[in-house]
Amino acid sequence: MENNSRIFGIVGLGIMGGSLAQQAREKGYRVVGLDKFTFPDALQEAGVQPARDFVELKQLLPAPRIVFLYVPAGGAVDTLLAEIADVFEAGDIIVDGGNSYWGDSMRRAEALRARDLYWLDCGTSGGMTGARHGACFMIGGDAAAVQKVMPILQDLAVPEGCVYTGKSGSGHFVKLVHNGIEFGMLQAIGEGVSLLRHYQWEQLDLAKVLHCWNHGSVIRSWLVELMEQVCQETMGLEPVPAYVEDTGEVNWLVTDAMRMEVSVPVIAQSVMALIDSRDKDKVVAKAIAMMRHGFGNHPFGMSEKIARERMTGRVGDFPTFPGEHAPAVPAAGNGVS
């Protein structure tokens, strides 16, 4: 007799859902998959059982059913929720593993609770590599339902990479905060790489520096490792477009922080930096140049003369504080060079 605890469904078989399905199959799970687009050949070869619609998905899974959703956040999730509510039965468990807004997850859980269905919010981190080989999960919702899902998550996570965060909404809130921290770290690493690149005395080998940093330094991390890998693959920064895209979740976090009156200047600035990367017309810079030209007749565009002034205009060092002794200045003609 088949063990019902090792059977589950996945709706949305893209990078994350498909990778988790493959990992689960390798660990002995029977997985039933549903996707509105083409069912990937690689998943069929891995033994993932295809379902044509929610009715067939329900028929292929034993009760109480466990189904993971890996679809883009937004209205599509509500559409799926409505279909699920009409098809699935009391006691079935739906796990939203995408990046839905935590407030939406609270509302959806409440809507399904009236139908005796469980809606759990499960933040998933680790990217496509984590989904394929061991992810990190942050899950919120009804404790009894989470207890039934937890063995699956623990099998698909890295050791100790799974946490029950609390009531509905908490899993996606914790994941959202995680994404905000990620943005701040990305910005700091990016700024550090820019400083390395602008070292004027010689050309530093970025990949070698990053490799060193990731072996014992305080800032060693997966992000530094990824930066090193991509730097080697692209042979430097030049081939990479300066436009940075994102799906907008951290914008929600900045808005939430203002509602909560929590100061998050690093996270907020990292979002502004991403938005600034998309300004191909550089409207802000042009406006500033126009005003500077108006009040000081400053030139439009680069001026070699002003660039020299910027580098040579300051002669001395930072002034000493009252009571401090300034360093001795050699007198002219004393032979000191």
* Domain stops at, among 120, 137, 168: 168
pLDDT value of residue 1: 43
One of 56, 83, 148, 182 is an active-site residue; which one? 182
Residues 74 and 162 in one domain: yes
pLDDT of 328: 61
Q: Is the pLDDT of residue 335 over 50?
A: no
Structural domain includes residue 97:
yes
Structure tokens at 115: 């139908």
The verdict on 135 and 10 lying in the same domain is yes
Claim to verify: residue 137 and residue 251 sit in the same structural domain:
no
Whether 323 is in a domain gets the answer: no
Residues 44 and 184 occupy one common structural domain:
no
Residue 123 sits at φ, ψ, to 5 deg, of -65, 135
Check if the beta carbon of residue 253 is closer than 8 Å to that of residue 176. yes
Residue 175 designated active-site: yes
What is d(CA 111, CA 117) in angstroms, rounded to the nearest whole number? 9
pLDDT of residue 194: 93
Is there a single domain that holds both residue 13 and residue 88? yes
More confident residue, 36 or 220: 220
- The C-alpha atoms of residue 56 and residue 130 are separated, in whole angstroms, by 29
The parent domain of residue 158 ranges over 4-168
What percent of the chain is modeled with pLDDT above 90? Answer: 72
Task: Give a yes or no: residue 122 inside a domain.
Answer: yes
272 and 289 together in one domain = no
Number of domains in the chain: 3
Candidate from 125-139, 211-225, 299-313 with smallest mean pLDDT: 299-313
pLDDT exceeds 70 at position 98: yes
4-50 pLDDT per residue, tens? 679 999 999 999 999 999 999 999 999 999 998 888 889 999 999 99
In a domain, 237, yes or no: yes
Give the residue with greater pLDDT, 254 vs 307: 254
Which of 126, 148, 168 marks a domain boundary?
168
Q: Which ranges of the chain does DSSP label H, i.e. alpha helix?
A: 15-26, 41-46, 54-60, 75-87, 102-113, 127-133, 143-156, 170-197, 206-213, 222-234, 249-260, 265-277, 283-296, 304-312
- Checking if the pLDDT of 321 tops 80, the result is no
What mean pLDDT is predicted for residues 191-199? 93
With bands split at pLDDT 50, 70 and 90, how would you rate the model's confidence at 326? Answer: low
Quick one: pLDDT at residue 296? 85
182 catalytic, yes or no? yes
Q: How far is CA 289 from CA 125, 217, 232, 284, in A?
A: 42, 41, 37, 9
Q: What is the CATH number of the domain that holds 126?
A: 3.40.50.720
Domain boundary among 234, 259, 277: 277
Over range 180-208, report the average pLDDT. 93
Residue 324 lies in a domain: no
The reply to whether 25 and 138 lie within a common domain is yes
Which of the four pLDDT bands, split at 50, 70 and 90, describes residue 141?
very high
**What would the pLDDT profile of 51-90 be if each residue is shown by its tens digit?**
999 999 999 999 999 999 999 999 989 999 999 999 999 9
Residues 201, 148 share a domain: no
Three-state secondary structure call for residue 115? coil
* Same domain, yes or no: 67 and 105: yes
pLDDT of residue 204: 92
Among 224, 223, 198, residue whose Cα is nearest residue 209: 224
Residue 192 in this model has a pLDDT that exceeds 90 = yes
In a domain, 335, yes or no: no
Same domain, 232 and 305: no
Q: What is the pLDDT of residues 145-165, one digit of tens each?
A: 999 999 999 999 999 999 999
Q: Judge whether 151 lies within some domain.
A: yes
pTM (2 d.p.) = 0.88
Q: Is residue 21 domain-shared with residue 141, that is, in the same domain?
A: yes
Q: Look up residue 319 and give its two tokens.
A: 């002034």
* Residue 311's pLDDT band (cuts 50, 70, 90): confident
Q: Is residue 319 part of a domain?
A: no
Q: What per-residue confidence (pLDDT) applies to 337?
A: 42
User: Residue 239: which pLDDT band, with cuts at 50, 70 and 90?
Assistant: confident
Q: Give me the mean pLDDT over the 188-201 stretch.
A: 93
Residues 11 and 109 occupy one common structural domain:
yes
**158: exposed, middle or buried (Cβ count in 10 Å: 0-12, 13-18, 19+):** middle
Q: Is the pLDDT of residue 324 over 80?
A: no
| Structure-block tokens of residue 225 | 């490792």
